[in-house]
Amino acid sequence: MTEFDTHEKVAALVPHKGHMHLLDRVISYDFEKTEVETEVDITEKSMFFEESYGGVPVWIGFEYMAQSVSVMMGLVGLKTNTPPKMGFILSVTNFKSETNVFPVGSTVHIWVHQTVRMDMAVTFEGKIFVNDNLVATATMNTVEVDDPKKTLGV
């Protein structure tokens, strides 16, 4: 367990605010391996909860992975005393899922690992577990920029 063991404490690491801040805890992180593990508790109050599914659709796992990447960048920023760069997902590939839904009452465990870094382009491997069972995997290709307005014209 880490010092970022509540939803509110995790909020200090990510740019996502309000209902779009989805992660509940940071379980572990390793700067040398460039990986982080986070968790989300699925409840009827979870953002993206679908009553007809009895939980959250598995494709929301992409956002859980993306926010976990934001956590890692926030942790690096704290360690180096620099503001984290803004990141954008360019593509999600190799998505595989063993389920359609994260059911109410479950804890979703997210693991992301940086596999490639080439200047601003960064690739992450992501895995999602429920009850220690691997339920989804994906590769995320991202771009990291200092100034989104200047770099991307956003």
pLDDT at res. 152: 64
Average pLDDT (82-99) is: 89
**Kind of pairing between the strands at 133-145 and 121-130:** antiparallel
pLDDT in tens, 12-22: 888 777 778 89
94 or 148: which carries more pLDDT confidence? 94
pLDDT at res. 57: 98
CB-based contact 78:85 (threshold 8 Å): no
For residue 5, the 8-state DSSP code is: -
Query: For residue 116, what pLDDT band results from cuts at 50, 70 and 90?
Result: very high
Range of the domain at 52: 7-152
CATH number for the domain harbouring residue 67 = 3.10.129.10
In a domain, 1, yes or no: no
In a domain, 2, yes or no: no
